[in-house]
Amino acid sequence: MTTPSEKRARFRKLHEGGCFVIPNPWDVGSARMLQALGFQALASTSSGFAWSTGRLDNEVPLADMLAHLAALAAATDLPLNADFENGYADAPEAVAANVRLALEAGVAGLSIEDMSHDSGKPLYETALAVERVKAARAAVDAEGSGAVLVARAEGLLIGQMDLRQTLDRL
């Protein structure tokens, strides 16, 4: 079996080499099927996993997501990128702590989005969104794993169609 460290190195090489297709398994069976089809990496899907358990996206507790990520990471020799939603926390320090847990689960990379789970304020203020990503980055760097971190700007997803605003947030 490929180690998390080896998977992270392969994932970085994929990113350095340009574009590649990364499908979204929602369970161990689909992860194994996608590996058998020849994909080079996988990316979890928070909504796919949530729906497969009868829940809505953003309603899966952190512990359940970490168990799911660990199962996916162990199921194949492919690097796994985690759709880690908002990092399962609002405060930057809590995001960092949760990122460390995701890395312990064996992911090769993860994304942190700027969408809060507060229906009255769907996106974090830009300054807080940046601090949250900085905290996640510091957690990845402190571990020395070489995991890939992606910051996601979700404005278009919630109907904020101003591309300039989205680019500014990125």
Q: What per-residue confidence (pLDDT) applies to 9?
A: 97
In this prediction, residues 87-100 reach a mean pLDDT of 98
Q: Which amino acid is at 25?
A: P
Architecture of domain 4-169 in CATH?
Answer: Alpha-Beta Barrel (3.20)
Task: Give the residue extent of every domain in the chain.
Answer: 4-169
Residue with the bigger pLDDT between 165 and 91: it is 91
Q: Is the pLDDT of residue 32 over 90?
A: yes
* CA–CA separation, 117 and 85 (whole Å): 10
pTM: 0.94
CB 58 within 8 A of CB 46: yes
List, as one string, the DSSP characters of 144-157.
Answer: T---EEEEE--TGG
Check residue 79 and give its pLDDT. Answer: 98
* 121, burial (CB in 10 Å: exposed 0-12, middle 13-18, buried 19+): exposed
- The residue-averaged pLDDT of 74-87 equals 98
